[in-house]
Structure 1
Amino acid sequence: MRKNIGSIPVNKFGDEFNSGFTIERIDFEYLPYLGDWEQPERHDRHSFFLLEKGAVNMEIDFHRYEIHSPAVIYMHPDQVHRIISFEKVTVSAWAINDENLKPEYLKLLENITPASPISLNIETSALFSEAVSLCIKFAERKMDRLHHSLLKDHCNALVGLVISSHLDQSSSADKLSRLELVTKAFREILALHFIQLKRPTDYAKRLHLSTPYLNECVKNTTGHSVSYHIQQRVILEAKRLLYHSDHSLKEIAAALGYDDYPYFSRLFTKVAGMTPLAFRAKNLDQSKVYTVSPYTA
C-alpha cells in the first residue's frame, strides 16, 4: 500500500565532497522484500543506470517496464519511479546535477524527457561498461589534484553516450523539418513553464509565432493540438502528486497554478476520465499494474 507521505520523497545521492555527481557499480541478488526501494521517489539530479546483468521490473510515471540487460535507463529529476522487483542484477549508476552537466547536454536531456529504457547491443554495452569502469577509477583517485575536473569530464562523457543512444532512435536535428523544429521548441518551453503558461497564445508569443501556425506545426507533427499537450503535462504532474503525496486537491491545484480548484477538478476529470479523488483511490495499491501511459509530448 502507498505510504502516507506529505510530498514525493527526493532521493539525495551520496556525495561525499559535494561535487554534484556520483558513480558506483553494485551487484544485487534477488530480494523478496525491497523495503524503501519499493516506495516511489524522485532523484535530486539527472540519474543514469547501466543494467549490465539481470533484469529489473520498475515503474516510471505510471508506466511499468520490464528491463533486461544489457540496457541503459535515464531518469529526469522530475520523474517519479519505484522498483517492483529485480533478480541477480549488476547495475552501474551515475548521477549529475544541472550545474555540472555540459549546457548542450542539459538541453538535449530536456528534449528526450520522458525517455524509455534502451536495449543495447553487445558492442555498445561493452563500450558503456568500459567507460563506467574508467570513470569509477577516476572517482577512487580522490587525492589527484584534478580529481573533480577529471570526474566531471568523464561523467559528462557517459551522459553523452546515453544521449547519443537516444538520438540514434530518433531523427537527427539536421534532418528535422520546419514543423518538427517548431514542435521541438514548443516542447522545450512546455517542460519548463507548464505551471505558469496555460494558453496556446502564451507559447506562441514565446516563439514569436502566430497561435494558428504553432498549432498547425504541433498538430501535424504529433497528431494533437497545443492545448492537448499543455493539459496532458499538467495532469501528469497532478497524477504524480495525487498518487505519491497526501496533499489535498486544493493544494495540488494551487501548486500547479490553478486558484479555482473546482475548475481544476473538472479539467482533471475531462483529461483523465475520472475525478481526482477516484484516481487517488484507484491507485492506492502499488502492486497493481498501471495502464496509464506516460506523457510523450
Structure 2
Amino acid sequence: MPKRRSIPIHSLDKVNQLGILVRRFTGMDPETDANLAHRDENYLFMVMEQGRARMVVDFKTITASGKTIFCILPGQVHYGISAHNVKAWVVAVNTDLVHKQYQQVFEQQLPQLLPLPVDDTFTGRMGQCIKLLEEVYLSANSSTFRQQATRSLLDAFIAMFAEVYAATDPTTDNSHPRTLIITRQFKGLLSRNYKTMKSPAAYAAALNISTPYLNEAVKGATGLPVSYWIQQEVVTEAKRLLYYTDKTVKEIAYELGFDDHTYFSRLFTKAEGMTALTFRKQYRE
C-alpha cells in the first residue's frame, strides 16, 4: 500500500456548481480513481437495473445483485471491487441538498446500511425520474424555474429512495414517535460532532433533554445505549485512518479529538479486542 497522510476526498465542487452529478454506469474502468479507497463529501445514490457489483464500504464487502438500490453516506470510505453486466444510475448529491428528514433515514440504518432489492415498477419509475433530472439540470436554461425544477425532481428521487429504506427500519414503529425523533436527532448530531462531543451528557444538552431520557430513548429504539453509538462512530473513523493512512496512533487520537492518546488506545482496544497497531498490521496483511 502506498504511503498516505490522508484519505482522498472527492468533492462535487470540483465538478460543477450545482451540487448534483448524474452518471450512467455500465461497468468499471480499472484506471479510474473511483476504484481506489476514498470518501466523498456528498451522498451517492445508486439504482442498479441489472448485473452484479461488489464494493467495500467501511471494511464491509457489499454485494448488490439484480434490481437494487444502495446509498453511500458522506465520509464513508469505499471502493469498487468488481462489476459484471451492470447497468445502473449513480446520482451524487451535496449534503445541503438532502433534507434532514431523509438524512436521518439513512443515518438510522448505520452501521448496517446495505443494498435493498426493488421491483421492475420501482426501477422504471426511478429511471424516468433520473433521466428527467439529468435533462433539466444539464439544460442551457439558467432561469430560477430551472433551479426549482431541478430541486423538485431531486427531492422526489431522494424521497422514493428514503421510503424504501424507512420501510425496512424496525424503529419506524409509530407507537413511540417521540423516542424515534430523539434517536434520529441524536444520530444526526453524532455524525457531525463525534470529534468534539464525546459524552452522552453533551448530546443530551444539545437536544435540551436529560441524559437519562436520551439514553432511554436511544436504547428503546436501537437496543443499544448512547455510549455505544458514540464509541462506534469514533472507532469506525479510527479504523479508516489506521488502514488507509500512515498516521501514528497518537496523531489519529488527536485528530479524533482526544487530548490523551493513551485513553484513546485503551478505548480502541476495548472496542475491537486488539490494539490499534495490531488492527493496522492484521488488516493490511
TM surpasses 0.5: yes
In the alignment, what sits opposite 2:98?
Answer: 101
In the alignment, what sits opposite 2:128?
Answer: 130
Q: CA deviation at 1:123?
A: 1.5
Distance of aligned partners of 1:99 and 1:186 in 2 relative to their CA distance in 1, 3 Å threshold: closer
Instruction: Give the whole-Å Cα distance in 1 for the aligned partners of 2:252 and 2:140.
Output: 44
Distance of aligned partners of 1:233 and 1:106 in 2 relative to their CA distance in 1, 3 Å threshold: closer
Distance of aligned partners of 1:102 and 1:143 in 2 relative to their CA distance in 1, 3 Å threshold: same
Q: Is the 8 A contact 2:105 2:166 kept in 1?
A: no
- Which stretch of the first structure deviates more once superposed, 104-113 or 19-28? 104-113
| Amino acid aligned to 1:156 | D
Q: Is the 8 A contact 1:76 1:113 kept in 2?
A: no
Distance of aligned partners of 1:209 and 1:237 in 2 relative to their CA distance in 1, 3 Å threshold: same
Q: CA deviation at 1:177?
A: 4.5
Q: CA deviation at 1:118?
A: 1.4
Q: CA deviation at 1:243?
A: 0.9
Distance of aligned partners of 1:263 and 1:162 in 2 relative to their CA distance in 1, 3 Å threshold: same
Instruction: Give the whole-Å Cα distance in 2 for the aligned partners of 1:87 and 1:148.
Output: 36
Which residues of 2 match residues 131-146 of structure 1 at below 5 A? 131-143=129-141, 145=143, 146=145
* TM-score computed with the length of structure 2 as normaliser: 0.88
**Corresponding residue pairs, total:** 282
- What SS class does the counterpart of residue 26 from structure 2 fall into? strand
Q: Which runs of 5+ in 1 are unaligned?
A: 286-297
In the alignment, what sits opposite 2:22?
Answer: 23
Q: Is the 8 A contact 2:104 2:185 kept in 1?
A: no
Instruction: Give the whole-Å Cα distance in 2 for the aligned partners of 1:199 and 1:240.
Output: 22
Which residues of 2 match residues 148-297 of structure 1 at below 5 A? 148-170=147-169, 171-172=171-172, 174-285=174-285
Instruction: Give the whole-Å Cα distance in 2 for the aligned partners of 1:197 and 1:217.
Output: 19
Distance of aligned partners of 1:39 and 1:208 in 2 relative to their CA distance in 1, 3 Å threshold: same
- What SS class does the counterpart of residue 284 from structure 2 fall into? coil
Q: Is the 8 A contact 1:15 1:22 kept in 2?
A: no
- What SS class does the counterpart of residue 77 from structure 1 fall into? coil
Instruction: Give the whole-Å Cα distance in 2 for the aligned partners of 1:194 and 1:19.
Output: 29
Deviations 1:32-72 (Å, cap 9, x if unpaired)? x5663432111121111111221101111111111112111
| Amino acid aligned to 2:45 | F
Q: Is the 8 A contact 1:182 1:217 kept in 2?
A: yes
Which residues of 2 match residues 34-45 of structure 1 at below 5 A? 36-45=33-42
Q: CA deviation at 1:192?
A: 2.2
Which protein is richer in helix relative to its size? 2
In the alignment, what sits opposite 2:119?
Answer: 121
Distance of aligned partners of 1:247 and 1:61 in 2 relative to their CA distance in 1, 3 Å threshold: same
Deviations 1:157-186 (Å, cap 9, x if unpaired)? 211111111112225474445444433333
- What SS class does the counterpart of residue 283 from structure 1 fall into? helix
- What SS class does the counterpart of residue 216 from structure 1 fall into? helix
In the alignment, what sits opposite 2:78?
Answer: 81
- Which stretch of the first structure deviates more once superposed, 80-89 or 211-220? 211-220
Distance of aligned partners of 1:255 and 1:280 in 2 relative to their CA distance in 1, 3 Å threshold: same
Distance of aligned partners of 1:97 and 1:113 in 2 relative to their CA distance in 1, 3 Å threshold: farther
| Amino acid aligned to 1:21 | I
Distance of aligned partners of 1:180 and 1:147 in 2 relative to their CA distance in 1, 3 Å threshold: closer
Distance of aligned partners of 1:136 and 1:15 in 2 relative to their CA distance in 1, 3 Å threshold: farther
* TM-score computed with the length of structure 1 as normaliser: 0.85
1:49 aligns with 2:52: no
| Amino acid aligned to 2:26 | D
| Amino acid aligned to 1:130 | Q
Q: Is the 8 A contact 1:14 1:22 kept in 2?
A: no
Detail structure 1 runs of 4+ shifted over 6 Å in the superposition: none
Q: Which runs of 5+ in 2 are unaligned?
A: none
Q: Is the 8 A contact 1:53 1:89 kept in 2?
A: yes
| Amino acid aligned to 2:125 | L
Q: Is the 8 A contact 1:58 1:82 kept in 2?
A: yes
